[in-house]
């Protein structure tokens, strides 16, 4: 069963650019990038299931998330789109490209390889559960609760983007944490679909990130044989936030090259 995803659509002409966030992110995280891209493209930024303002449902498989995205394209009457996905969102767009390649004008995959990964979010989930229990009244209290489990301040600031003010006045999580935790094993898997997507592809990786290592590139090229791989030196896994100018320039250059 597909989910009616929440989305932001800037409108405009031409082949749109879909922007798909990573685990525990949302369309809101991409606001500054969308503001710049909308000067050149129609941009559709989405909240995946159990994230942002989208519905909470069981199931976090890549085939399910790709079908949600396809259903949104149908609702908007979009036949083909450029697809940009970061981390988990990168696996979602690769899945869609494998399952429905005719709907994909190009792929931009940010700091993820099309393969399975090991677990690594235990501290994050523990911090979010502590937030649920603690019912913080403000963001300072929320940060202190998260800090009991999550040492990195940048990660805590990112996780805090999932807070909203509840009816009783305290801060609460807007994500489907139960559903995400239950589906975590699926999230760690390789993208859905079989074979290769042989369309135009840009893979951006952070020079300080371990998510797309040189050892992973042969596997990556089996799935994305036409991938242009670009490293943003000095950036980590959240490369679009850590080096936004270089990220913008790389995406714009790639999309511009397709139009010449």
Question: Which residues face 45 on adjacent strands?
Answer: 8, 19
Pairing of β 43-46 and β 104-110: unpaired
Q: Report phi then psi at 253, rounded to 5.
A: -65, -40
Active site residues: 87, 237
Distance CA 240, CA 245 (A): 8
Distance CA 238, CA 158 (A): 10
């Amino acid at each position: 069963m597909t989910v009616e995803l929440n989305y932001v659509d800037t409108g405009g002409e031409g082949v749109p650019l879909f922007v798909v966030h990573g685990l525990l992110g949302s369309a809101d995280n991409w606001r500054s990038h969308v503001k710049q891209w909308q000067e050149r493209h129609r941009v559709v930024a989405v909240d995946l299931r159990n994230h942002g303002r989208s519905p909470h449902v069981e199931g976090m498989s890549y085939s399910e998330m790709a079908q949600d995205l396809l259903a949104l394209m149908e609702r908007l009457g979009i036949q083909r789109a450029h697809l940009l996905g970061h981390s988990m969102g990168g696996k979602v767009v690769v899945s869609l490209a494998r399952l429905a390649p005719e709907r994909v004008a190009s792929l931009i995959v940010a700091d993820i390889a099309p393969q399975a990964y090991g677990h690594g979010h235990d501290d994050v989930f523990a911090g979010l559960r502590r937030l649920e229990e603690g019912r913080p009244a403000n963001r300072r209290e929320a940060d202190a609760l998260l800090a009991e489990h999550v040492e990195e301040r940048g990660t805590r600031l990112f996780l805090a983007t999932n807070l909203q003010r509840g009816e009783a006045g305290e801060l609460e999580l807007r994500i489907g944490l139960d559903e995400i935790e239950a589906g975590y094993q699926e999230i760690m898997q390789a993208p859905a679909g079989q074979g290769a997507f042989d369309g135009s592809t840009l893979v951006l990786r952070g020079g300080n990130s371990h998510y797309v290592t040189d050892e992973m590139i042969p596997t990556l090229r089996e799935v994305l044989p036409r991938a242009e791989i670009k490293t943003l030196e000095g950036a980590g896994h959240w490369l679009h936030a850590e080096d936004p100018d270089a990220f913008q320039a790389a995406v714009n250059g790639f999309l511009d090259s397709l139009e010449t």
